[in-house]
């Protein structure tokens, strides 16, 4: 009994005197358990464990990657592009680029944070909409295009057994049906319009993230480049 009491006292001493010091992150997977009504360990403190983990290749697959852009190529036009990558645990990285013509430089800002359980559940419900899953894969317009202004919304959704890329293009239609995007086949233009309607909730969700504010990023911006090509092939059939 004396030996058991000594061990218990040592355990209590460790708990009472422990001080956290940041150090090298772990590369191995971390599993964290916490009670829903825990008095001393709220859910937020469990989420903090993700700061102790550096994911390796393939250890955290994205839930969805969204890229949206508004392009204005007029003399003093303003173009912007936003892209966001969201992980299954609610962690996300959002990046914005803005360019004012005729200037050649772009301004980049970013936001990185985590969704609460309510927002994450809202996103899952949006992505699990069978109408969205059944949308045809996004077909980009032929380039060059004969329009100075247009906007695109492209989303890569992780379906578990593969990914699917859906999206749409909005532009001011012209009279010359021989120039892209007006020259696109009718079925593709119809698919763009149908996708715009069904993806509106997801577009609104992403817009809401951006409205929460940005912090200036000093790191090299490369997330947008990694998903900028809408011709990324789907492996979901």
Q: Would you state the pLDDT for residue 94?
A: 86
Intervals of the chain under pLDDT 50: 57-59, 216-220, 225-237
Enter the tokens of residue 199. Answer: 């993806």
Residue 95 near residue 113 (C-beta atoms within 8 A)? no
Residue 80 near residue 73 (C-beta atoms within 8 A)? no
Q: Would you state the pLDDT for residue 236?
A: 38
**Separation of alpha carbons 75 and 174, rounded Å:** 20
Q: Would you state the pLDDT for residue 144?
A: 87
pTM score of the predicted model: 0.66
Residue 152: DSSP 8-state: E
Block residue for tokens 């914005």: 96
Q: Would you state the pLDDT for residue 196?
A: 94
For the chain, list the strands marked E by DSSP: 64-72, 78-86, 91-100, 107-114, 149-158, 163-171, 215-216
Q: Which residues of 103-119 are buried (b: 16+ CB within 10 A; e: fewer)?
A: eeeeebbbbeebbeeee
The alpha helices in 48-162, defined as continuous H runs, are 117-127, 130-133
* Nearest by Cα to 229 from 149, 157, 140, 169: 140
Q: What angle do CA 142, 162, 223 make, to 5 degrees?
A: 60
Block residue for tokens 């190529």: 73
Q: Would you state the pLDDT for residue 234?
A: 40
Q: Would you state the pLDDT for residue 219?
A: 44
Q: Would you state the pLDDT for residue 35?
A: 65
**Separation of alpha carbons 18 and 39, rounded Å:** 19
């Amino acid at each position: 009994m004396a030996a058991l009491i000594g061990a218990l006292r040592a355990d209590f001493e460790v708990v009472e005197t422990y001080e956290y010091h940041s150090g090298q992150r772990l590369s191995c997977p971390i599993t964290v358990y916490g009670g829903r009504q825990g008095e001393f360990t709220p859910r937020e403190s469990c989420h903090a464990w993700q700061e102790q983990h550096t994911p390796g290749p393939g250890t955290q697959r994205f839930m969805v990657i969204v890229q949206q852009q508004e392009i204005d190529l007029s003399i003093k036009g303003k173009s912007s592009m936003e892209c966001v990558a969201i992980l299954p645990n609610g962690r996300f990285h959002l990046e914005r680029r803005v360019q004012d013509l005729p200037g050649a430089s772009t301004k980049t800002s970013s936001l990185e944070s985590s969704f609460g359980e309510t927002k994450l559940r809202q996103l899952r419900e949006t992505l699990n909409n069978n109408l969205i899953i059944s949308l045809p894969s996004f077909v980009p317009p032929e380039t060059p295009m004969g329009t100075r202004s247009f906007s695109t919304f492209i989303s890569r959704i992780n379906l578990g057994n593969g990914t699917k890329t859906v999206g749409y293009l909005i532009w001011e239609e012209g009279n010359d049906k021989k120039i892209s995007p007006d020259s696109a086949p009718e079925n593709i233009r119809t698919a763009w319009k149908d996708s715009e309607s069904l993806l509106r909730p997801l577009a609104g969700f992403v817009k809401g993230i951006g409205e929460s504010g940005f912090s200036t990023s000093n790191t090299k911006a490369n997330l947008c480049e990694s998903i900028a090509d809408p011709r990324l092939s789907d492996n979901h059939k």
